[in-house]
Chain A
Amino acid sequence: MTENRSKLIHTFGALAELGQEVSSKNGFQETIRTSLHLLLGSLAIMRGGVARYSRFEHELTVMAMRGLGDNFPLSLSLCQEDERQFLVNGLHPIEVSQASVLPFFQVYDRSFEQSRVELLVPLVIRGETLGAIFIGEKASGESYTSHDREIICAMARHIGVAISQRNMMSELERKADENRKLYDDMRMTYKDTVKAFAAAIDSKDKYTEGHSVRVGKYSEIIAKELGWAEDEVEGAAVAGYLHDVGKLTVERKIINAPYRINAKESAELNKHPGVGYEILMPIHHPYADVPLAAKYHHERLDGRGYPDGLYDREIPYIAKIVNLADSFDAMTTDRPYKRRRPANEVFEDLQRNSGKQFAPEIVGALFKGLLSEMSGETKDKKFRRLLGREYMESEGLVPVLKTALNGMPSSSPIMLMSLD
């Protein structure tokens, strides 16, 4: 009686520890290894192993084993009949010596005999075969009693649940990975579409070819200097790429006019921000403010911009960035009626208009980006190529930028809202 009680205490101790182990944060492999120790130790079983079943490969892969010897197969195949029989049998020990009818036992008969495997417990949980446990002889040499088998089943169920949880986690990870790839593909498609749009916009104007691409790049550099997160910087670049999309509806002769356009033509051209907004608004962009950048990129801090004559805080921040990038490109590229301006003049102009047309901290961010590139702190080949040597290597520009930056406010923490 006393012996039985001690045995029970020992066994329940093992069961309790197994429960803890299965719900612990230990690695899966470690959990299975410890679980096998607990199962073998609870009844003093000399040898055994735990295998996980793959329903795709129809294979049991041994994850942990003790005392089964080096010749024990590390993966064991199951045919459909075996699988069916395991499911019918459920989570109950099968006497290996009496199960030779099944193909599985015929195939692995010698291995089981050599490794002295006496019982096999299919890990069947909720109608699914998740693995199997191989069990050798007891240290006492006695046969397994019905009580022993119940203990084995109880412990096997814990191990089966651990495998089931792991399978679910793997499936979740696989799906998450799939979704991530899909998302990346969608982003790529979106970016390609944006670039295609930019090319379409730029193709309308032979003098400003590449304008959208440059404004995208400058907006990206400004956003980076403002300390925006990676996807927000990407959003700023997209806003720059698409800011002139409304020009697609403006007559080519107005856009390409080699003279200062008249009031009527100007009114026609000035519709492009609103049209751009209408085009972009129905599209579900990954970034919130892309349509707003198109609509308000000609607004000025002093309220003298268009289409709505908004003042400073009324203007969406992204539109202020694109506005500066747009103006900067206009000053640094040849236009039909105007040659590009020398670097010193451009920076003086930007400084002079800081606080009137442009937000000072945004001008500061552009200057910082330029200074980093000119001083070699950053090496953005695209930036250098788009802006051109003439500006990048202008003599004496670095001290001018440094002096200008000293009088500028630091970067603003305001950020573009991402929609994801």
Chain B
Amino acid sequence: MIQHGESVSTAEAKGAVVYADDYLNKLSGEKIERECRRRIAEGCRELVVNFSQTEVVNSIGVSILLGIIDTASSNGAKVLFSDVNENTVELFEMLGVTNHVTIVT
């Protein structure tokens, strides 16, 4: 079973899925940020952050996700958010996070 903050490579090996925790605050947020940075440094070009376990994203979580997006963008990688609940999608849209990331179901 995949734990939050861990990731799996996708079939093409140029992509990875990183699983976020149920509450995306500093502790868990920094864990997925480290994992995303590691994957990008390894050459991953499509990074999926899976929010299926995530109920709440606070300001720290938003800041960390923006950091992941920025790092990916500087390295020519693409970030996708998957399985995001309705409230969190609303939050991301309201803050303009969705300008930089594709949300998939």
Contacts and interface: CB of A to CB of B under 8 A. Distances in A.
Give the residue among A34, A43, A138, A139 with the most B Cβ atoms within 10 A: A139
B96 A40 contact: no
A339 interface: no
B58 interface: yes
A38 B64 CA distance: 10
A141 B100 CA distance: 10
Interface string A21-60: 0000000000000101110111111110000000000000
Given A38-B63, A44-B95, A139-B99, 4 more contacts: A6-B90, A41-B63, A42-B62, A141-B96
B97 interface: yes
Contacts of B66: 40-41, 44-46, 66-67, 139
Interface in B52-95: 58-64, 66-67, 70, 90-91, 94-95
A67 B94 contact: no
Interface of B: 26, 58-64, 66-67, 70, 90-91, 94-97, 99-100
Q: Is the interface of B mostly helix, strand, loop or mixed?
A: helix
Contact of B70 (A38, A42, A46, A140): A46
A141 B95 CA distance: 10
A66 B37 CA distance: 14
Contacts of B61: 41
26 contacts: A10-B94, A14-B58, A34-B26, A34-B60, A37-B59, A37-B60, A37-B63, A38-B59, A41-B58, A41-B59, A41-B60, A41-B61, A41-B63, A42-B59, A44-B96, A44-B97, A45-B63, A46-B66, A66-B66, A67-B66, A67-B67, A138-B96, A139-B96, A139-B97, A139-B100, A141-B99
A6 B59 contact: no
B57 to A, nearest CB: 9
B59 A7 contact: no
Given A14-B58, A67-B67, A37 B26 contact: yes
A17 interface: yes
Contacts of B67: 66-67
